[in-house]
Structure 1
Amino acid sequence: MHPSKKIIGSYSDELSGKSILLGITGSVSLYKSIDLARTLMRRGATVKVMMSQMASKLISPDMFQWATGEEVTVELTGKLEHVTLAEDNDGMLIAPATANIIVKLAQGIADISLVATALNFMGLNKPLVLVPAMHLPMYISPPVRDAKLRLESMSIKIVEPEVVGDLAHYPDVDLIASYFTAQLLRGDDLKGVKMVVTAGPTREYMDPVRFISNPSSGTMGVAIANEAQFRGADVYLVHGVLNTKVKSFVRKSVQVESTEEMKSSVSELVEKGYKVVVLAAAPADYRFKQKKDKKIDSHTEVPKVELEKTPKISSSIRGKAFIVGFSAETVENDEELIERAKAKKERHGFDLIVANNVGRKDIGFSSEYNEVFLIGSDYVKKIEKSSKNIVARILLDTVKEELKSRNLL
């Protein structure tokens, strides 16, 4: 085995058994695709590379062979690589994609190996994703703009570049990898779903600098929101202060501080037509009855405080949306966890509840991993300890089936 292949599956096994063709074109940002290839490998995929001739002049194909442990294709030969690579791989990702290949692909001009191969992927109805990177005036020029629209009409996906000054930059590697993973495994199966996801802790202030909160990082909520958006949903993320390594790539979001603010934001979105609500945040359950306008002097005063309950976010949307609740408990065993979650599900009118034991140090709050039970009206499903990205995917699979059973999708 090539030494580089030892990293396969080191982060997760979500792409285990999948083979991906990574197309490289002659943008100066192509060096970032070395990291992209290895990110996909760490998720369990085998990655093969095809380079355009111009790309091979900028970086030696040997670099990508080192990165992936696979032979790199540049020229087409009598082996019919454009056919066999399309047949042997599950999906194709062209990153970076230059203006040249975007326009040629839109018109079916197969005069270079990458276009000929991509056309075979299209003919086989396999996922094809493009990641443009170039100068901004070129990216927004009429030929490229029209080519993008034409490709999108043919179900070709485009990851929008990050615009900085006059450049359409190669976007975040984690964004590309996560988006392509979701597309490869699920496609646009949540298209048409308008979903609100809450994430992170809220804060209830005693004075301008002191507050009640909890150790939630927001990782679970962000992972759910990202996954839903990558699968075609219209997602709005309502979050507190986030402290997570999982980056949010959601296009629509609002940050709040208090539980009351989170409740108001969610209620407003439901009134605007968002009919699926995933309450993955950890809102504070208590607040101070009185809040000081100025900082309490710790040298002269020990405040006497009285707490009151904060409003439940679900109370204002019950019966107006499909609600997924969360039950974070400190319990001795799974049976106790499930019973508490079932009681909470009925008490708050959740359609589905996700239960996890935050008494464990290896999962839950501020961890990249979780182990949960999904509890519906007539089932209990366990998701074994996995990265929160994978938990998010399985949770959304369950939400999708629930929506289908209710004729809501």
Structure 2
Amino acid sequence: MHPSKKIMGTSTNELTGKSILLGVTGSVSLYKSIDLARTLMRKGSEVNVIMSQEASRLISPEMFNWATGNPVITELSGELEHVTLAEENDGFLIAPATANTIVKLANGIADSPLISTALNFMGLDKPVSIVPAMHLPMYLSPQIKKAIDALKGMSVNVIEPDIVNDLAHYPDIDLIAWDFTTQLLRGEDLKGIKITVTAGPTREHMDPVRFISNPSSGTMGVAIANEAQFRGADVYLVHGPLSSKVKNFVKKSVEVESVTEMGKTVESLVEKGYKVVVMAAAPADFRFKDIREKKIDSHNEVPLMELERTPKISSTIRGKAYLIGFSAETASTEEELIEKAKIKKERHGFNIIVANNVARKDIGFSSEYNEVIIITDRYVKKIDKASKIVIAREILDTVKEELKNRDLI
């Protein structure tokens, strides 16, 4: 085994058994695709590379050979690589994709090994994604817009660039890898669904600088929102102060601070049609009955503060939305965890509840990992310890299945 392949599966195993073809074209941002290849490998995938002639003049194919441990294709031979690569790989990711590549692919101009290979992937109905990267005026030109719209109509996934000054910039590598992983594993199977996701803690202030909160980082909610968006859903993320290591890639999001703010925002979104609500946040259960407008002087006063319960967000939208709740409990056994979660499910009117045991230090709050038990009206399913990205995918699989069972999608 090539030494570079030792990293395969060191992050997650979600792409184990998959083989990805990475297409690299002649944008100056192509050096970032070395790290992209390695990121996909860390998810468990085998990565093969095909480069345009222009790309191979900018950076040596040997760099990608080193990065992936596989030979790099730069030209076609009698082995018909454009056919075999499409047959042997599960998906094709072109990153970066130049204006020249985008227009030729949209019009079927097979004058290079890379375009010829992409057409074979499309003919086999395998996932193809492109990552445009170029100067902004070129990206905004009518020709490129027309070509991108045409490719979208052919089920090619377009991972949009970051707009930075006058550039349509190569986007975040984690975003590309996650988006393409989702296309490979699920496609846009949640298209047409409007989802609200809550994430993170809330803060209930005692005075302007002191508050009640909890250790939630928001990782689980952010992971669910990202995954839903990559699967084609129309997602709105409502979050408290985040400390998640998982980056927030959701296009529509709003930050709130208190339970009251979060509740009003969620209620407003439900009224606007975002009626699948994944309540992954950890809103505070208590707040101060009286809030001081000025900072309490700790040298002169030890305040006696009375607490009161915060309003339950689920109570305001119960019966108006399809609710997915979370139950973070301390439990000695799985049976105890399930029982506590079932009681909470009925009390708050959740259609689905996701339970995890916060007595464990290796999962849950402030961890990148979780182990959960998903409880619906029809069954109980355990998801063994995995990254919260993988857990998010499993939760959304259950949501999709239950919505279909109720003829809601």
- If the length of structure 2 is used for normalisation, what is the TM-score? 1.00
Matched, 1:107 2:115: no
Q: Cα distance, 1:109 vs. partner?
A: 0.3
**Map 1:89-168 → 2, pairs under 5 A:** 89-168=89-168
Partner of 1:14: 14
Q: Cα distance, 1:378 vs. partner?
A: 2.5
* Letter of the 1:273 counterpart: G
Partner of 2:405: 405
Taking the aligned partners of 1:273 and 1:221, their CA distance within structure 2 comes to 20
Q: Cα distance, 1:20 vs. partner?
A: 0.2
Taking the aligned partners of 1:407 and 1:334, their CA distance within structure 2 comes to 31
**Map 1:22-33 → 2, pairs under 5 A:** 22-33=22-33
Partner of 1:207: 207
SS of equivalent to 1:377 = coil
Taking the aligned partners of 2:327 and 2:289, their CA distance within structure 1 comes to 26
Partner of 1:348: 348
String of CA shifts for 1:251-289, please: whole Å, max 9, x gaps.
000000000100000000001111100000000000000
Q: Cα distance, 1:30 vs. partner?
A: 0.3
Taking the aligned partners of 2:212 and 2:88, their CA distance within structure 1 comes to 55
Partner of 1:367: 367
* Letter of the 1:65 counterpart: N
Alpha-carbon RMSD: 0.5
String of CA shifts for 1:341-369, please: whole Å, max 9, x gaps.
00000000000000000111100000000
Structure 1: segments with no counterpart, 5+ residues? none
Partner of 2:291: 291
Q: Cα distance, 1:113 vs. partner?
A: 0.8
Q: Segments of 4+ in structure 1 off by > 3 A? A: none
Taking the aligned partners of 2:59 and 2:381, their CA distance within structure 1 comes to 48
* Letter of the 2:142 counterpart: P
* Letter of the 2:323 counterpart: I
Q: Cα distance, 1:403 vs. partner?
A: 0.3
* Letter of the 1:272 counterpart: K
Q: Cα distance, 1:211 vs. partner?
A: 0.1
Partner of 2:177: 177
String of CA shifts for 1:142-180, please: whole Å, max 9, x gaps.
111110111111111111100111011100000000000
SS of equivalent to 1:225 = helix
Taking the aligned partners of 2:157 and 2:189, their CA distance within structure 1 comes to 14
Partner of 2:268: 268
Partner of 1:189: 189
Q: Cα distance, 1:330 vs. partner?
A: 1.1
* Letter of the 1:308 counterpart: E
Taking the aligned partners of 2:132 and 2:321, their CA distance within structure 1 comes to 37
SS of equivalent to 2:268 = helix
String of CA shifts for 1:269-320, please: whole Å, max 9, x gaps.
0011111000000000000000000000000000000000000010011011
Taking the aligned partners of 1:283 and 1:86, their CA distance within structure 2 comes to 48
* Letter of the 1:37 counterpart: A
* Letter of the 1:378 counterpart: R
Taking the aligned partners of 1:408 and 1:126, their CA distance within structure 2 comes to 28
Partner of 1:336: 336
Taking the aligned partners of 2:172 and 2:23, their CA distance within structure 1 comes to 17
Partner of 1:218: 218
Partner of 2:53: 53
Structure 2: segments with no counterpart, 5+ residues? none
Q: Cα distance, 1:332 vs. partner?
A: 1.1
* Letter of the 1:147 counterpart: A
Mean CA deviation greater in 200-209 or 136-145 = 136-145
Taking the aligned partners of 2:359 and 2:217, their CA distance within structure 1 comes to 16
Taking the aligned partners of 2:192 and 2:150, their CA distance within structure 1 comes to 21
Partner of 1:258: 258
Taking the aligned partners of 1:117 and 1:408, their CA distance within structure 2 comes to 39
Taking the aligned partners of 2:91 and 2:81, their CA distance within structure 1 comes to 15
Partner of 2:305: 305
SS of equivalent to 1:54 = helix
Q: Alignment length, in residue pairs?
A: 409
Taking the aligned partners of 1:152 and 1:97, their CA distance within structure 2 comes to 14
Q: Cα distance, 1:237 vs. partner?
A: 0.1
Q: Cα distance, 1:379 vs. partner?
A: 1.0
Taking the aligned partners of 1:403 and 1:25, their CA distance within structure 2 comes to 41
SS of equivalent to 2:130 = strand
Matched, 1:380 2:380: yes
Partner of 1:239: 239
Taking the aligned partners of 2:326 and 2:227, their CA distance within structure 1 comes to 18
* Letter of the 1:271 counterpart: E
String of CA shifts for 1:238-263, please: whole Å, max 9, x gaps.
00000011001000000000001000
